[in-house]
Structure 1
Amino acid sequence: MTDVRVSVCMATYNGEAYLGEQLDSILAELAPHDELIIVDDASADGTVALLATVEDARVRVFPRDHNRGYVRTFEEALQYATGDVLMLADQDDVWIPGRRALFVAALQNDAVAASNLVLLGSDAPLVPPIPGISWRLNASQSGHSVRNELRILAGIIPYFGCAMAIRRDAVDRILPFPDFLTESHDLWIATFANAHRTMRHLDEPTLRRRLHEENVSTARPRGIVPVLRARWMLLRAWLAAKKR
């Protein structure tokens, strides 16, 4: 595992407030031959200026002059990556030590791995969107592909991009993201993995998630029309994934 090269793929947008702590936690985990790819989606704050102060040869920054949204920003970051294992990262969380080794080991036999998360500050588990359901991944359910996909459609399985990793040989099949994908790049990746029975769940949490008002993923309920539109998009994603 020591010769595996890891690429961390991060999308930033107006993330100046919390980005420094996240960068420290990531760089402390990476090996000298790894890389951190950051695509900035035309931030209007001091994010790009902060990134310019990072003196680490492993960090490569690609600033944009126009905003395209987080889905296309993550897609671009994945395209730039050159590692054997690609890990996704948000700009405002904090990695738990040992994350790199857990994901590299998990991808020995599967193409995509997803872990659990805990809340920054308390290490408590995430609060489920529906009271009473289990809002965590279970390693023993990794191979339950159809059940996992049904849980994606029901919105009751915690697949988060910030807690995912992809093996190099799957990247060319996951990319490009479908043109119709306007949100939930993480659920597209999970859908691909489940469609091809190559998903690995990790029982362990690998990062501490920071909750704040600017999170893309929130616990606030959505209206019926956005929910139905999202479910139709996910059904299309399953059909598209089966063809790759």
Structure 2
Amino acid sequence: MTSIVVTELSSSALRTPPDSLGGLTFRSFSTRIMAATPPARPRITVCMAAYNGSRYIEEQLRSILDQLEDGDEVIVVDDCSTDDTASRVASLDDARIRLVRAAANAGYVKTFERAISLATGEVVFLSDQDDIWLPGRVDVMVEALDDAELVVTNFSYFGGEIPTLQQARLSKRSSRHWLRNTFWIWVGTRPYYGCCMAFRHSLIPRLLPFPEYLSETHDQWIGFVANADKSVAHLDFDSVARRIHADNATVKSARPMSTVLKARWMTARSVLEARKRSRRFAR
């Protein structure tokens, strides 16, 4: 909170012209007051795709809402859950939550795409329905967006184990390695997870619409676009605790080679599309 100290003025000071009071002009005085006042935090939108997440979604939303301000918003798109996910979200009765009920099941990629399209905040966070946001996450990630379009962090996990490949960690030093980042995201060893991301709203025109062939890894698509723009910040710290359980959307076991090759072809096309969009918007 900014405090202003008012001092008693002498009679001679009162006779001093008001634009040069005690050698301090009103302009410089007001400038000092403005400099001492911290800038307002950008308005935030959190985008969440929900499907049959009633078991954990309330705890996750509370961990998010604890870090948001009154003017922020959480957009939850319920992808035709067959349980009481939507009613649990509504029961929180928080004006910052906007619950959107899909008319038909579209899958998590299309659901995240819809949520992003509805975002109005200056900064957009992505969130899974079953994790827990760690304290300080929002402030640190928003600050990092002063110098980048996209910020990506690391994560901790609980409730189970994850494959060794998914235990890879980001380093701040690799933030500006645009081509290497793109290559290792494509290979699958650079951990770009949506639950660890935030980006500026100004990135959305290049992200949307998602490529029509994109059936998974929307978070890698976002990483491809931001690296094509050469505007990414990696943060070393853990911003979210991922909950490991049987119904996680992230693949936890080896897939058939045919499936892997199909996914690599899809993401290779995504790399080319990201560079195409980046060049088009740079004109």
Cα deviation, 1:69-91, whole Å, max 9, x if unaligned, reads 00000000001110000000000
**Cα distance per residue 1:123-175 (max 9 Å; x no partner):** x9x65228xxx700001100111111111122111110011011011111111
Alignment partner of 1:52 is 2:90: yes
Q: Distance in 2 between matches of 1:3 and 1:29?
A: 12
1:93 aligned onto 2:136: no
Q: CA deviation at 1:193?
A: 1.0
Instruction: Indicate the SS of the match to 1:129.
Output: helix
Q: CA deviation at 1:3?
A: 3.3
Q: 2:222 aligns with which of 189, 203, 224?
A: 189
The percentage of counterpart residues that share the same residue type is 44
Question: Which structure has greater helix proportion?
Answer: 2
Count of residue pairs brought into register by the alignment: 239
Q: Which residue type is aligned with residue 139 of structure 2?
A: A
Partner of 1:220: 253
| Alpha-carbon contact 1:7-1:37 (below 8 Å) kept | yes
Q: Which runs of 5+ in 1 are unaligned?
A: none
What secondary structure, in the 3-state scheme, does the structure 2 residue paired with 1:52 have? helix
> TM-score scaled by structure 2?
0.82
TM-score (normalizing by structure 1): 0.94
* Structure 1 residue 121 displacement after superposition: 5.8
Amino acid at match of 2:164: P
The counterpart of 1:135, out of the listed 160, 163, 168, is 168
Q: Partner of 2:265: helix, strand, or coil?
A: helix
Structure 2, unmatched stretches of 5+, are 1-38, 278-283
Any idea what the Cα deviations from partners look like across 1:179-211, whole Å, max 9, x if unmatched?
Answer: 110100000000111112111101111000000
Q: Tell me the distance in 1 between the aligned counterparts of 2:228 and 2:256.
A: 28
d(CA) in 2 for partners of 1:127 and 1:194? 26
Separation in 1 of the partners of 2:266 and 2:71? 38
Is the 1:94–1:120 contact (alpha carbons within 8 Å) kept by the matching residues of 2?
no
Task: List structure 1 segments (4+ residues) > 6 angstroms apart after TM superposition.
Answer: none
Partner residue, 1:165: 198
What's the secondary structure of 1:117's corresponding residue?
A: strand
Contact 1:129 1:219 in 2 (8 A): no
Q: Is contact 1:5-1:33 (8 Å) kept?
A: yes
Counterparts of 1:54-203 in structure 2, within 5 Å, are: 54-120=92-158, 127-129=163-165, 135-203=168-236
Q: Look up the equivalent residue of 1:176 and give its one-letter code.
A: P
- Compute the displacement of 1:219 (Å): 2.2
Higher relative contact order (CA 8 A, sep 6+): 1
SS at match of 1:221: coil
Distance in 2, matches of 1:90 and 1:2, equals: 27
Residues 159 and 245 in structure 2, CA contact (< 8 A), matched pair in contact too: no
Give the Cα separation in 2 of the matches to 1:143 and 1:127. Answer: 27
2:165 is paired with a residue whose SS is coil
